[in-house]
Amino acid sequence: MALSPLNRRRWRNFCANRRAFWSLIIFAVLYVVSLFAEVIANDVPIMVSYRGEVHFPIVQFHAETAYGGEFRTQADYR
């Protein structure tokens, strides 16, 4: 995408202001992290190690019976 000379000058002036430039970088990183907030902080763990076996409940359903429970419902990970 080609910028007009005026916008190119504006961008150079913006980048010359170090505080503004780093604020933009930090804001962009926090925005990208917030897109994955539902995966990062939810009630299902990303990985579970149970009796030497590794499971990924975030990807595939695992019943409570897989972890020594009695019912074939969603396991309560506490």
Phi (first) and psi of residue 74, to 5 degrees: -60, 130
Domain boundaries, the chain: 1-40, 42-78
pLDDT at position 60 is 79
Overall pTM surpassing 0.75 (yes/no):
no
Helical packing angle, 5-16 and 18-35, nearest 10°: 90
pLDDT at position 27 is 98
Least confident of 5-9, 11-15, 34-38, 60-64: 60-64
Q: Give mean pLDDT, residues 56-61.
A: 80
When computed from its CA atoms, the radius of gyration of the chain, rounded to whole angstroms, is 23
How many helices (H) and strands (E) would you count in the chain? Answer: 3, 2
Residue 64 has pLDDT above 80, yes or no: no
| Residue reference for tokens 């990183």 | 29
